[in-house]
């Protein structure tokens, strides 16, 4: 299963917990992996409090200098690749009785590093 997410800015953080949850079959136990099929976006688990999402956005934007990279000679987005490298392309979560076994404050967040774009997230469920 896969789903798409639209992002609104060069760097952006979008809560995709509901889309991942919808991919999990009723009553299943095991793990679910959410994987972004991109080299300039990633996924993480953290809190989806709106001000924190802005903080994450600002933090990710500040991780890497915007200019001065060799790949920029090709398509100008080396900074986005390097930010995504630090975010990582996937998360794996436990599944219990068809639900995501997340902590109370945990959400699955897509981190955009080269938007705005439409991103694709693959979701794979493995049963115990
Ligand atoms: Zn590139």
Alpha carbon distance 105, 124 (integer Å): 23
Structure confidence by residue, pLDDT tens digits, 99-122: 999 999 999 999 999 999 999 999
If you measure from the C-alpha of residue 112 to the centroid of ligand 1, how many angstroms do you get, rounded to a whole number?
14
Residue 128's pLDDT is what?
86
Beta bridge partners of 12: 112
What are the sequence ranges of the domains in the chain? 2-127
The whole model's pTM is what? 0.96
Q: What percent of the chain has pLDDT over 70?
A: 100
Residue 11: both structure tokens together: 């760097």
Backbone angles phi, psi at 106, to 5 degrees: -95, 135
CA of 27 to the centre of ligand 1 (A): 41
CA of 30 to the centre of ligand 1 (A): 35
pLDDT in tens, 22-45: 999 999 999 999 999 999 999 999
Tell me the CA–centroid distance for residue 3 and ligand 1, in Å: 23
Domain 2-127 -> CATH class? mainly beta
- Alpha-carbon distance of 114 to 80, in angstroms, equals 5
- Residue partners of 115: CB distance under 8 A and separation at least 6: 7, 8, 9, 10, 11, 12, 41
């Amino acid at each position: 299963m896969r789903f798409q997410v639209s992002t609104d800015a060069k760097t952006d953080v979008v809560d995709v917990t509901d889309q991942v949850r919808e991919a999990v079959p009723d009553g299943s136990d095991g793990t679910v992996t959410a994987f972004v099929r991109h080299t300039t976006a990633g996924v993480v688990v953290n809190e989806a409090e709106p001000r924190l999402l802005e903080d994450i956005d600002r933090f990710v934007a500040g991780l890497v200098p915007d200019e001065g990279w060799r790949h920029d000679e090709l398509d100008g987005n080396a900074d986005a690749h390097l930010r995504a490298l630090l975010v990582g392309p996937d998360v794996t979560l436990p599944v219990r009785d068809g639900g995501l076994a997340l902590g109370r404050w945990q959400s699955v967040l897509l981190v955009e590093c080269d938007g705005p774009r439409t991103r694709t997230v693959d979701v794979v469920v493995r049963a115990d």
